[in-house]
Amino acid sequence: MVADVHNRPQGSFANGKYDQDPVYGMELFSTLDIDLQEFGEKLMGKEKEVLLQSNLIRERY
C-alpha cells in the first residue's frame, strides 16, 4: 500500500505486484559509517537538508 506524506492510503504500487504480508518480530538494524557521516556533514555545511544514499535494485516498469 502506498501512502502520501500524511500517511493516507493512496492504493497499491505497481498494481500490487510487490504486496506481501508483514513478517512480525523481525528487527531492523541501521548503521552509518563514521567516514560517510563526516563526509556528508562536510558536504551539507549548515544546510538543513537530507542526504540519502540507497542501494535499491531498480526495475523498469
Which residues, 6 or more positions from 48, have their beta carbon under 8 angstroms from its beta carbon? none
pLDDT of 57 above 80 = no
The set of residues, in sequence order, having a beta carbon less than 8 Å from that of 36 and lying 6+ positions away, is 53
For the segment 5-26, what is each residue's pLDDT rounded down to a tens digit?
888 888 888 888 888 887 787 7
Place 33 in a pLDDT band, splitting at 50, 70 and 90. Answer: confident
Cβ(38)–Cβ(47) below 8 Å = no
pTM of the shown model: 0.34
